[in-house]
Copies of this chain bind each other. A is one copy, B any other.
Amino acid sequence: MSNEIRLTPTSYIVLGLLEAAGESTPYDLKQMVAIGLGNFWSLQHAQLYKEPERLTAAGLLSERREESGRRRKHYRVTGKGRAALREWLSEPTAELTELRDLALLKVFFGADPEAMAAAQLPAHEAKLAEYEELRQSAADVADEIPEGPRVSLRAGIEAERIWVGFWSRIRDRGEPA
């Protein structure tokens, strides 16, 4: 019983969120993703309904369904689930992320870089502004915010700065030496 399944990043996201927040419904998870994590790793809401089912079948979560009304499903992490999460967290990864940037892909195949810059720049600038605002508003309560999200936000900001710089240079003078 509790067939073993392959755990994907999605699995660990669900485990991680449930571990941090305690018993939650898929919709709760969706909200949590929206406020932070979703900025650098988004998920379809359907996944947040299906993935807990998989994890439950594998014994990593337990499920409680409301008797009346909406009969919502509430999930919580089991000991086994907690162990799986811990192990995953304890293994540093050397894996590198690929850019997988659609704009860059188009440019690679011949799209006009300046036209692309015109579309990308505002988008990246907006995202950067959003992040910096987030950081501002988080500064007050910095002590209450765990290190992980704080570090991740910093990474997001630095990444966005790069892109703003990259596309700016393309727009301003074409490709520099």
A contact residues vs B (CB 8 Å cutoff):
9, 12-13, 16, 19-20, 37, 39-42, 85, 88-90, 92-113, 115-116, 118-120, 122-124, 127, 146-152, 154-156, 158-159, 162, 165-166, 170, 175
Contacts and interface: CB of A to CB of B under 8 A. Distances in A.
A118 B107 CA distance: 33
A97 B47 CA distance: 20
Contact of A124 (B96, B107, B147): B96
Q: 6 closest Cβ contacts across the A-B interface?
A: A92-B119, A16-B109, A40-B99, A97-B101, A94-B123, A108-B148
A94 B120 contact: yes
B98 A110 contact: no
14 contacts: A9-B102, A41-B100, A42-B98, A89-B111, A92-B111, A93-B106, A94-B120, A96-B124, A96-B127, A97-B103, A108-B148, A108-B151, A109-B148, A151-B175
Contacts of A159: 99, 159, 162
Contacts of A146: 110
A92 to B, nearest CB: 4
A13 B100 CA distance: 12
A83 to B, nearest CB: 14
B105 A95 contact: no
A3 to B, nearest CB: 25
Contacts of A103: 92-93, 95, 97
Contacts of A149: 108
A146 B166 CA distance: 18
